[in-house]
Amino acid sequence: MQQPTAPYPPAPQFPLTYTVEYPDRKLNRLSSAFRFVWLIPIGVIVALLTEGFNFQGGSYSWSWTVSGFLGLPILLMLLFRKKYPRWWFDWNLNLAKFLVRYQAYVCLMRDEYPSTDEEQAAFIDFPYPDATRLSRGLPLVKWFLAIPHYVVLLILHIAVAVVLILTWFAILFTGRYPRSFFDYVVGVNRWTWRVLAYAFLLTTDQYPPFSLQ
């Protein structure tokens, strides 16, 4: 008797989680209407953190960060030492958590002002990588391998801009964030963070899926 064929094993879960709690209640219309004004103080802090640190001398300019994340030093450590210093990882993770809270506020997903250090309703997490298991040379080309994602995400983010405009009007008239719009924005942001973790934070060699889930 022929044995049934074993199913294919499930694809490994990508080592990054991103969630935002859906506000199943009426949002503050006034806060949403003037969100661009309330963003100014915290936006200054975000700009200072994500500007990056540059050393310029002569005709050379060395950028040590990618939007505030430690990128080039980690690449060099992986390439020459096969190490991912823990405190560099902690900086990247905590900066990501802060930016996710800020991102949720920008996208009208939450009323509470983004905290610089406390957990709120927007969450991101990725595990500390075992540098000995990471490829030594792959970080040199990850940014290039992720080009297909850049193209798709560009289109998706244009759609996000349209969705946010429609959401703004929806909140003003109904006080509610349409659930389908909310899930779409969360999905695009999740996809974006997976690409960042792969190509720039260098926390995983697993290629990010083309998925909003």
- pLDDT under 50 in the chain at which residues? 53-63
Q: What is the DSSP string of 11-71?
A: PPPPS-EEEE----S---HHHHHTHHHHHHHHHHHHHHHHS--EEEETTEEEE-EETTEE-
pLDDT at 63: 45
Dist. CA 116–CA 123, nearest whole Å: 13
Helix, strand, coil percentages in the chain from 3-state DSSP, rounded to 5: 50, 10, 40
CA distances from 148 to 66, 89, 119, 186 (A): 19, 26, 33, 20
Phi, psi of 12 (to 5 degrees): -60, 140
pLDDT at 71: 86
pLDDT at 70: 86
pLDDT at 81: 92
pLDDT at 50: 83
57 exposure class (CB count in 10 Å sphere: 0-12, 13-18, 19+): exposed
pLDDT at 28: 94
pLDDT at 143: 94
pLDDT at 9: 60
> Closest Cα to residue 17, out of 200, 137, 197?
197
Neighbours of 157 (CB within 10 A): 14
pLDDT at 8: 57
